[in-house]
Each structure stands twice: as structure tokens, then as C-alpha cells.
Amino acid sequence: MSAQNQQRCFIGLGANLSEPVAQLKRAIAALAELPASSLGKVSSLYASRPMGPQDQPDYVNAVAELHTGLTPLQLLDALQQIEQQQGRVRKAERWGPRTLDLDLLLYGNAQLHCERLTVPHYGLAEREFVLYPLQEIAADLQLPDGRSIAQLCLQVPRRGLTAIGSAHS
């Protein structure tokens, strides 16, 4: 795949079960191996308080940049495959704890809505554990609707979000 067909994408990573830091590092290694793709910048790992039900452990979150020639649905399939390889079981409980969650946040400037996929990710603009890691690796980013990441971060409190280390060490 030639470079001009590649899209700049951002993937949100989250885990709060079964050694979350190791889960995220393993997932980042798997992203680096995806076909027709190259891994770009990866944010720090962040500890974050659970959004949704509070009777679950804190999360570890990060965001990774990926340049890819995969289509959005091919990329979604690949992300779900990584989740499954790392023991993700989809439970009936909404917003419950998880070993690994990989969300396609942005796919170039695309705005997509189909049964399996909404891009930009529906929670992006409200989630501090997505916005601040995104700002760390793409400070000048604008969403397809023109809002800047800097502006969104000003509107969303950190809720205790804390960088806890590098994804590479």
C-alpha cells in the first residue's frame, strides 16, 4: 500500500483487569504488527477513574496514532481480533470492567456511521482519558467538525487523570 493511501488514525486503549499496564503494552505491540499499517506516536499510560459504574478498578488508558491502508471496517476487525487474542470477553453488562478495549477514535477526517462503527468515536469529546492522551501526541489536532483538541481539553476536567509512565519501557 502506498503512503498516499494511508489514513492517520487514532486508537484509544483502555483496561482495568488482569494487569492493565501489561495488557496495554501488549496491545501496542500488536498494533505495530498490523498489515498495511505503521504505528506512529503513542501517548503516556494514564491512570483514570472509571467512567460509569464506580464499583470497578481504576483504568489504565492511552492513545496511539496509526497510519493505515486498511479500511475502517478492516481496522475495526483487526482491533476486535487483538481484543479477543488478549482474552476479552464481551459481557452483557454495559460499561463493566474489561481486560482490553480498543476504540477507533478517528479515521483521518472521516465521519462514518454504520451499524458496527461510529467515527469519530461517540464518547471522544467528553472523555478525559481520551482527550488528554490525544492532546499529548497531537496537540494541533482538529476533529472533522472543526473543534480543536485544545478547546475540548479546556472544557473537560481531568478527574484525577494521571500519567503513570511510558508505553515503551
CA angle 22, 135, 75 (to 5 degrees): 60
Find where cell 471522544 sits.
124
Binding residue for ligand ROI (CB under 6 A) from 7, 44, 61, 68? 61
Give least dist CB 102 to ligand ROI, A.
Answer: 10
The three-state (H, E, C) secondary structure of 51-88, written as one string: CCCCCCCCEEEEEEEEEECCCHHHHHHHHHHHHHHCCC
Residues designated as active site: 88, 98, 101, 103
**Nearer to ligand ROI (CB atom), residue 91 or residue 113:** 91
Interface region with ligand ROI, contact rule CB under 6 A, candidates 28-36, 44-52, 74-82, 114-122: 44-52
**Segment 93 to 152, residues that bind ligand ROI, using CB under 6 A:** 95, 101, 129
How many CA atoms, within 13 angstroms, populate the side-chain half-sphere of residue 142? Answer: 5
Is 48 near ligand ROI (CB under 6 A)?
yes
Report the interface residues with ligand ROI, using CB under 6 A: 14, 48-52, 59, 61, 95, 101, 129
